[in-house]
Amino acid sequence: MKCIINRRAQFSASHRYWLPELSEAENIARFGACTRAPGHGHNYVLYVSMLGDLDEYGMVLNLSDVKRVIKQEVTSQLDFSYLNDVWEEFQQTLPTTEAIAHTIWNRLAPHLPLTRIQLFEHPELWADYYGNNMEAYLTISTHFSAAHRLARPDLSYEENCEIYGKCARPNGHGHNYHLEVTIKGEIDPRTGMIADLVAFQKAVDDQVVEPFDHTFLNKDIAYFAEVVPTAENIAIHIRDLLQAPIQQIGAQLYKVKLIESPNNSCEVYCETPQELTAIATQREPALAQA
């Protein structure tokens, strides 16, 4: 039986974004405050995912061995280091979140049956790498506060209450929405980036956060005058708003996750991941027989 196990590790390190072939003005224009010498630091959190068969002891791998390998190959070398100097890979590629995740994969792959490396630079920025050449995923998280009412205009108040419950009350209610936006692209071998992080953040702020924040979605966002602003519909609209701006910065929008409350969230993709296709294919025969 196949099983994926995950191991968490952490390290603290500093880095600097600076390309010697660019002028000071060009570096500042491209990397902003990240160019400041001697650099800045983060408390990185690393998740290593591994796939394997369960053995007779009920384990995929001995976690003591996994811990030792991660420490030996990664954390003991990176902890309290200046990333630009510690590994030779970062002499050619800037140590961005996605480039570090890619390099950690390459360091661990000879020793562990990896399926994913996930690296958090901080709680609102992380990268995922799955071993697919130079392709990586980068996620930023942000938030906005808004009110909405769930009700279809073609239905009576009583009918809407049957469908949407308290959410159909006429004066609406509010949420502190948490938004995660994931892009994918090829890691640039020099900058270490799949897209300009500042431009990525600006696209999300300009298209979503600023227009949506502190609004009554049904009344202030034209799209929701005719569309019920459920979490699902909001996520779909955000996906549609972001696809073109993300493409303009040289990446591809991959996923939008909207967390409406600690109990409710939804995810929408720009293309159906293979694992979701497989699940849907498995369910279709069962649904047909029902």
Query: What would the pLDDT profile of 225-236 be if each residue is shown by its tens digit?
Result: 999 999 999 999
137 and 259 both lie in a single domain:
yes
185 and 96 both lie in a single domain:
no
pLDDT at 290: 47
Residue 283 has pLDDT above 80, yes or no: no
Whichever domain contains 194, its CATH number is 3.30.479.10
CA distance 178 to 35: 30
Please name the helix (run of DSSP H) or strand (run of DSSP E) that holds residue 274, with its range, or none.
helix 274-289
* Mean pLDDT, rounded, for 107-121: 98
67 and 175 both lie in a single domain:
no
pLDDT at 1: 84
**Tokens of residue 52, six digits:** 């394997």
Query: In the structure, what pLDDT confidence band is assigned to residue 213 with cuts at 50, 70 and 90?
Result: very high
* Mean pLDDT, rounded, for 7-15: 98
110 and 217 both lie in a single domain:
no
CB-based burial of residue 23 (10 Å sphere; 0-12 exposed, 13-18 middle, 19+ buried)?
exposed
Contact between 245 and 160 (Cβ < 8 Å): no
Residue 150 C-alpha from the chain's centroid: 28
CA distance 178 to 110: 37
pLDDT at 113: 97
* Mean pLDDT, rounded, for 112-122: 97
**Mean residue pLDDT across the chain:** 94
CB-based burial of residue 227 (10 Å sphere; 0-12 exposed, 13-18 middle, 19+ buried)?
middle
CA distance 110 to 113: 8
CA distance 158 to 57: 57
**Tokens of residue 116, six digits:** 């994913």
Least confident of 47-61, 67-81, 139-153: 47-61
Does residue 80 sit in helix, strand or coil? coil
Query: In the structure, what pLDDT confidence band is assigned to residue 289 with cuts at 50, 70 and 90?
Result: low
C-alpha distance from residue 104 to each of 97, 187, 228 (Å): 11, 14, 44
CB-based contacts of 257: which residues, under 8 Å, 6+ apart?
A: 179, 180, 181, 182, 235, 265, 266, 267
pLDDT at 160: 95
C-alpha distance from residue 289 to each of 227, 278, 285 (Å): 33, 18, 6
pLDDT in tens, 239-267: 999 999 999 999 999 999 999 999 999 99
74 and 204 both lie in a single domain:
no
Percent share of the chain, pLDDT over 70: 93
Phi, psi of 175 (to 5 degrees): -140, 150
pLDDT at 277: 57
75 and 148 both lie in a single domain:
no
* Domain of residue 104, residue span: 1-131
Active site includes 24?
Answer: no
Residue 135 C-alpha from the chain's centroid: 14
143 and 186 both lie in a single domain:
yes
145 and 14 both lie in a single domain:
no
CB-based burial of residue 264 (10 Å sphere; 0-12 exposed, 13-18 middle, 19+ buried)?
exposed
Query: In the structure, what pLDDT confidence band is assigned to residue 271 with cuts at 50, 70 and 90?
Result: confident
β-partners of residue 141 are 180
Does residue 127 sit in helix, strand or coil? strand
Query: In the structure, what pLDDT confidence band is assigned to residue 16 with cuts at 50, 70 and 90?
Result: very high
Give CA torsion, residues 27, 33, 38, 44, to 10 deg: -110
Contact between 70 and 7 (Cβ < 8 Å): yes
212 and 77 both lie in a single domain:
no
123 and 138 both lie in a single domain:
no
Which member of 89, 111, 161, 167 is catalytic? 167
Which of 76, 98, 131 corresponds to the end of one domain? 131
Q: How many residues does the chain have?
A: 290
pLDDT at 278: 54
Active site includes 266?
Answer: no
pLDDT in tens, 59-81: 999 999 999 999 999 999 999 99
Place of tokens 């792959």: 109
12 and 92 both lie in a single domain:
yes
C-alpha distance from residue 137 to each of 145, 289, 290 (Å): 26, 38, 38
Active site includes 111?
Answer: no
CB-based contacts of 213: which residues, under 8 Å, 6+ apart?
A: 144, 145, 146
Which of 106, 131, 156 corresponds to the end of one domain? 131
Which member of 40, 122, 173, 214 is catalytic? 214
151 and 110 both lie in a single domain:
no
* Mean pLDDT, rounded, for 148-154: 96
pTM across the whole model: 0.91
Query: In the structure, what pLDDT confidence band is assigned to residue 129 with cuts at 50, 70 and 90?
Result: very high
For the chain, how many structural domains are there in total?
2
* Mean pLDDT, rounded, for 153-173: 96
Which of 103, 131, 159 corresponds to the end of one domain? 131
Residue 285 has pLDDT above 60, yes or no: no
Which member of 98, 121, 180, 260 is catalytic? 260
Residue 156 has pLDDT above 50, yes or no: yes
